[in-house]
Every structure is written in C-alpha cells, then in structure tokens.
Amino acid sequence: MAKDKSFDSIANKFSRNIYGTAKGQIREAVLQRDLQAEIPWLGQDGSKRILDVGGGQGQLALFLAGLGHHVTLIDISEDMLAIANKRAAELGLSERLETIHAPLQALATLSLGKFDLVLCHAVLEWLVDQQAAVALLKDALQPTGYLSLMYYNKDAKRLANILYGNFDYVQADLKVKKKVSLNPNQPLDPKAVALWLQQLNLTVISKTGVRCFHDYMRDQEKAATAFEQLLAFELEYNQQEPYASIGRYTHLVCQHA
C-alpha cells in the first residue's frame, strides 16, 4: 500500500540538493514573482494571515513574514521547522512566524481558522490522497482568500524521461519498485488537478511553469555559470504556452469562483 512521504532526518540533504541549487533558486524567484504579481495586498501595509503547508525550512514563509504578514508554517519534519525557527530569530521575524509540527491532513483538526493566503508547494506529489488534500487547503481559505498551489507535473516528467531515453520507465507509467529519497512518488496529472479545482469552485488566475528550461538542459554546468541569463529566460517565458505546461513543476494561483 502506498504511503505518504516523511522527511525526518533529511533536512540537511534538502538544503544541499534542493534549496541550495540553481533549481531551488529558480523556484524561489518564480514563486515570489507570481505571488507579488497576483495578490494585490501582499506588499501593502497591514498584516494578513498566511498558512504555509509543508513549507519546510521556511524560505517563502520568511519572505512573506518580512513583508509584514503573520505566517503559520506547518511541516511534518521537526528538523525542517528547527531550521525555519533559527532563521526567523536571525532575521528578527520570530513574532511573525508560528511553526506547527503536523502533516497536511491535520488541518482538519487543528482549528487554525481561516487564512487570507494558503500556500502548498511541492507537497501533493508525496501524498496518497491528493484530491482530499486539495479540499483541506480550500477549507482553510477565507471567502476572498488565495490558494498558491505548486505540484510536480506528470506531463513534464514523462517528456523529460522520453528525452533521456528512459522508455521502460515511461511505459511503466513513471513507476519504479525502488524509490529515490528525494524523487516525488506521485506526480500529478494537470487535467486531474484542474478538475479538482473546478469541483471546489476555485478559479485559476495564473499558471506558471517552474523550471521550463533548466531541467531539459544538456549542459547542467551552463545552468550554474550562466544562471542569471537562464533565470531571465525562465521568468520571461514561463507563463506562455507551450512553456507553461512543460515546467517540471506547475504553479497555480487560485481564488474562489
């Protein structure tokens, strides 16, 4: 039986292999750009309530706290939360950051109230019941609130593996017997996600591909040595088709219909 992924004891590995790399920097730049472009109150005076579900070491949570908002950060890894709290203290943001050690599914019982913005980035692909998870996120929203949802794009994963020549893997519907620790278990079908959002009366107001070019580059050293040029291309084209649909991750900003 499939199980949700746990991230206990691999916080440092995430820092090295995800957050501290070009792909992590692209992800943060894209998310910050999208949120500031689509949410009118984000950079204004006055604190809003923000929920970051599975926010890990708090990179985006601390960015938003730095803009003056109160952020509740939930994660299943105590190690990740410890890093987030340490960084908040270093930045003088501890009063604006609350951390809770819990899984996404605990939203149903935590009684946290409603939020102006709910973030869930790179979490759904580690879960078994993804549709139910999206419904919980929607339940945490104020009637005028925003949902920022980023998920691992199954179409992009299929494309990349065909280009890499991993034909048997693609024919097996991208499933392997032995899981790689940082490789998401359950990439999402964009059509299924669109249907779930429609059923929840959530309207997509922006769609962005995250890492539309980086992950397809043959020369990964070039991605590091010419990073600023690469980032500029990502930001210029990642909301245009066909690029928006082939990013390794898809970022959606949604509101109540």
| 246 in any annotated domain | yes
CATH number at 15 reads 3.40.50.150
Confidence of residue 6 (pLDDT cuts 50, 70, 90): low
Confidence of residue 47 (pLDDT cuts 50, 70, 90): confident
Q: What pTM was estimated for this model as a whole?
A: 0.91
Give 187's DSSP letter.
P
196-208 core/surface letters (b: 16 or more CB in 10 A; e: else): bbeebebeeeebb
Cα(156)–Cα(247) distance, rounded to whole angstroms? 6
Q: 70 labelled as ligand-binding?
A: no
Q: 121 labelled as ligand-binding?
A: yes
| 159 in any annotated domain | no
Mean local confidence (pLDDT), 174-191: 79
| 211 in any annotated domain | yes
Q: What is the mean pLDDT of the chain?
A: 91
User: In the chain, how many domains are there?
Assistant: 1
Q: What is the pLDDT of residue 1?
A: 40
Q: 113 labelled as ligand-binding?
A: no
Q: 55 labelled as ligand-binding?
A: yes
Q: Which domain holds residue 130?
A: 11-153+186-256
Q: 92 labelled as ligand-binding?
A: no
Mean local confidence (pLDDT), 223-251: 96
| 221 in any annotated domain | yes
| 214 in any annotated domain | yes
Mean local confidence (pLDDT), 180-209: 92
| 51 in any annotated domain | yes
Mean local confidence (pLDDT), 40-46: 85
Q: Is the pLDDT of residue 15 over 80?
A: no
Please state the φ and ψ torsions of residue 33, each to the nearest 5 degrees.
-60, -50
Cα(115)–Cα(72) distance, rounded to whole angstroms? 10
pLDDT in tens, 208-224: 999 999 999 988 888 88
Q: Is the pLDDT of residue 150 over 70?
A: yes
Cα(189)–Cα(132) distance, rounded to whole angstroms? 15
